[in-house]
Structure 1
Amino acid sequence: MTDIERTEFNVQDTSFPSANDRFGQAGRDVDARAQFEELDAESNLRPKSLDEFIGQPKVRKQLDLVLAGAKGRKVAPDHILLSGPPGLGKTTMAMIIAQEMGTSLRMTSGPALIRAGDLAAMLSNLLEGDILFIDEIHRIARPVEEMLYMAMEDFRIDVIVGKGPGATSIPLEIPPFTLVGATTRSGMLTGPLRDRFGFTAQMEFYEVEDLTKVVTRAAGILGVEISADAAVEIASRSRGTPRIANRLLRRVRDFADVHAGGVIDLGAARAALIVFDVDESGLDRLDRAVLTTLIKGHGGGPVGVNSLALAVGEEPSTIEEVCEPYLVRAGMIARTSRGRVATLSAWQHLGLQAPPGTLGS
């Protein structure tokens, strides 16, 4: 089986629980039937239609028009690019597109498409109207991208047979399909590739109100009793991201099963989030370590990312890609030409008195 074949999944088989969810807590008896029931519940957390999808009202409205128009004309929709930070529902939206169009979904990722032959093998297996979803599409190899141009525009590819002077090009027709690309870094897409998408959707971070609905819906699917204020508490610490909200809900559920009789109230939610090192602003241990190093170790900055990474024992890429996006969005860190600078909000979050002239004061 090739790498490409291993990355293709049925729409119903693309949501996998974490290892903690599969095996339960150490030292506790695990009921196999209960575990299978939990797996089914976890796979159902993803919404199955645009009507079930919570949040992103502008994207949902625009996408509904695109899909409705295509269905009315009985043609494949234009190629769709979904852009935005991780965890906002890009993969789920691709699954919904396939469900709404009543077609199959083929899934792969940019890093898995190394050679042009990898893409050719996948395209040759598509049926008319199929949805091809490429996650992290900005990371596909250059030869693959060049083959994708012709496939997107003309629904054909040229397959090279042989080597050297005797090599020949054989045109291969492809049934009309829809490419759905997802990217967390739209700026890294080349202009020719970006221009070939007929519709581009920018996914935005969620408000607490929408995340509360996400938590409440997920709790109902998981069969967990949760109070309204507990749902708000979890949502407010989820960094505007549904994936984090669902993850925190599952961890709070673990705490409630052990210490609160399976019921999540405000007290249980707060106690559980303390255990899992998530504070009132959604910052975790690494976020606070970065702020502490920046403020207590360097007086608030400016500090280079390499120095911060060395002090907290992480790679610079981890600081830039995991911590900084939220800290900058929360207004606790500013990125300047001289390095990272802590703002007044960061000092206040750590309960420290900011010196005069602090950014944001």
Structure 2
Amino acid sequence: MSHTCLFSCRGEDPPSQKKKKKLKKAEPIIPSPVLLPSGLRDIRGQRRVVQQLNMLCSACLKEYKPLPHLLFCGPPGLGKTTFARLLAYEMKTTIEVISCSFIHSPSHLVSVLSHLKTGDILFLDEMHAMNRSCSESLYHAMDHFALEILLEKGKTSRPLVVPLNPFTLIGATTHPGRLCKPFLSRFEAVLVFEDYTVEELMEIVLSASEKWDLKMEQDAAEAIAIRSRGTPRLALHFLKWSRRFLLSSRREFLSEQCVLEALELLGLDAKGLNSIERKILEIILNLYEGGPVGAQVLASHIGESVETLEEVYEPHLLREGFLIRSSRGRCITKKGKAHFQG
């Protein structure tokens, strides 16, 4: 297992392996952990998920048992990894974080599972990227805390059972439908992460600005929240960008106007659409009279693959109600037309 895709922590981020060089006469480096909540009690948003996890932590701590296997589902950027780290903190245990895109064979999982201690959490991100042989190798480990390894192949093959310490598997995926049913059935609970409201994102942005000792208007936080697509990760990225814009312009605080200028520099409009998303609306409206337009044709217009069109650019247009999909293709809505022409 490559050390680049695996780390351990006890409710904290791993320390950097290299010392950061000091910058002369430049803005201070702001470590990302300063933005992380200190526990589940400090989480803003995802109320149902927080309630579910608080209940599980309370029950398991009273019984002195590890958490059950859990599956986190939802779009990227909603805090699935952060929640897993906070669970490790609440349970006073260790978490191993691995991206499944790095796992190519069951042997990779064997080396990780065999080193887990009782109560440890194994967090597997992007579980939909795991191949079938790897996911099947987890069945026995999840059910019986043991590994079955075939010593030989063919008629002479015989299984070797390797016992494991009781652990918790937390999986995260943006595409739960790509997981096979036998795998899904082994998770005690599937926790669904939903988009954050503008109000919740405003709280996150204002809280981060306080931790950075950054003066910020309420309207400025709202401007960021509106354009953040219901995603804390984007909201914090936009806050960092706006802060750098503030420093470069030598203004004293982040006003709404300052934020709007900063995000305009990123190419974002009033609804957070970028140039490619606006181009998609323009193509459908002007070249195809509002649609329908096939995915392959539309993807060729923007110079991207159909997969990129569907997974990167269309979700926000669909969420905002600017675009609809039908069996015949993509069509722009009245709302989408009004936004583009407004």
Q: Give the shorter-chain TM-score range.
A: over 0.9
| 8 Å Cα contact 1:82/1:90 also seen in 2 | yes
Alpha-carbon distance in 1 for matches of 2:305, 2:261: 31
* Alpha-carbon distance in structure 1 between the residues aligned to 2:303 and 2:334: 25
Q: Secondary structure at the match of 2:29?
A: helix
- 2:169 is the counterpart of 1:171: no
Corresponding residue SS for 1:270: helix
**Offset at 1:167?**
4.1
Structure 2 distance, partners of 1:347, 1:15, is 49
Percent of paired sites with the same residue: 35
**Does residue 269 of structure 2 align to residue 275 of structure 1?**
no
Q: Distance in 2 between matches of 1:326 and 1:318?
A: 13
How many angstroms apart in 2 are the aligned matches of 1:57 and 1:125? 34
Whether the 8 Å contact between 1:257 and 1:263 is mirrored in structure 2 is no
Q: Distance in 1 between matches of 2:241 and 2:221?
A: 13
- Which residue number in structure 2 is paired with residue 226 of structure 1? 216
- Note the alpha carbon deviations across 1:225-281, whole angstroms, 9 max, x for none: 211110111111111111110111111111111114252111101111111111111
User: Separation in 1 of the partners of 2:181 and 2:157?
Assistant: 30
Q: Distance in 2 between matches of 1:223 and 1:77?
A: 37
- The answer for the alignment partner of 1:74 in structure 2 is 64
Q: Which residue of 2 aligns with 1:26?
A: none
Partner residue in 2 for 1:107: 97
Instruction: Pick the aligned partner of 2:86 from 75, 93, 96.
Output: 96
Give, in whole Å, the separation in 1 of the partners of 2:51 and 2:250: 41
Specify which of 105, 114, 127 is matched with residue 137 of structure 1. Answer: 127
CA distance in 2, matches of 1:118, 1:262: 52
5+ long unaligned stretches in structure 1 = 17-21, 24-29, 353-361
Q: TM-score, normalised by structure 1?
A: 0.89
Counterpart CA distance in 1 for 2:177 and 2:111 is 28
Moved more, 308-317 or 198-207: 308-317
* 2-structure distance, mates of 1:226, 1:297: 43
Specify the alignment match of 1:38 in structure 2. 29
TM-score by length of 2: 0.93
Q: Post-superposition shift, 1:108? A: 0.7
1:191 aligns with 2:189: no
Q: Distance in 2 between matches of 1:234 and 1:171?
A: 53
Q: What's the counterpart of residue 8 of structure 1? A: 6
CA distance in 2: counterparts of 1:326 and 1:75, whole angstroms? 41
Residue 254 (structure 1) aligns with: 244
Distance 1:227 1:14 in 2: 33
Cα deviation for residue 221 of structure 1 reads 2.2
Alignment of 1:149 with 2:139, yes or no, is yes
Deviations 1:281-335 (A, max 9, x none): 1111111111111111211110011111111122221110011111111110000
Distance 1:219 1:39 in 2: 12
Assess, with a 3 A threshold, how the Cα gap between structure 1 residues 34 and 79 changes in structure 2: closer, same or farther.
farther
CA distance in 1, matches of 2:8, 2:251: 37
Which one of the candidate residues 187, 201, 205 is aligned to 2:191?
Answer: 201
Return the letter of the residue paired with 2:29. Answer: E
Mapped partners of 2:324, 2:233: distance in 1: 26
Contact kept, 8 Å, 1:158 with 1:172, in 2: the verdict is yes
CA offset at residue 161 of structure 1?
A: 2.6
Q: Give, in whole Å, the separation in 2 of the partners of 1:58 and 1:230.
A: 28
The aligned amino acid for 1:9 is F
> In the alignment, which residue of structure 2 is the partner of 1:56?
46
Does the 8 A contact of 1:224 with 1:262 survive in 2? Answer: no
* Alignment RMSD (CA, Å): 2.0
How many residues in Structure 1 have an aligned counterpart in Structure 2?
A: 337
Question: Which is worse superposed, 7-16 or 266-275?
Answer: 7-16
- Deviations along 1:149-201, one digit per CA (max 9) or x if unpaired, are 11111000112234455544211101000000001011111111111111211
Paired AA for residue 53 in structure 1: I
**What is residue 357 of structure 1 aligned with on the other side?**
none
Task: Tell me which of 280, 285, 309 is aligned to 2:299.
Answer: 309
Q: What code does the residue aligned with 1:31 have?
A: L
- Give unmatched runs, 5+ long, in structure 2: none
Q: Secondary structure of the equivalent of 1:340?
A: strand
Q: Distance in 2 between matches of 1:32 and 1:177?
A: 46
| TM superposition shift of 1:77 | 0.9
Name the counterpart of 1:182. 172
Any idea what SS the aligned residue of 1:249 has?
helix
Q: Which has the higher contact order (CA 8 A, sep 6+)?
A: 2
In structure 1, what is the equivalent of residue 313 of structure 2?
Answer: 323
- State the shift of 1:13 in Å: 3.2
Tell me how far apart the structure 2 counterparts of residues 279 and 46 of structure 1 sit (CA, whole Å): 28
Distance 1:119 1:100 in 2: 25
AA partner of residue 170 (structure 2):
V
How many angstroms apart in 2 are the aligned matches of 1:167 and 1:191? 27
Cα distance in 2 for partners of 1:293, 1:102 equals 53
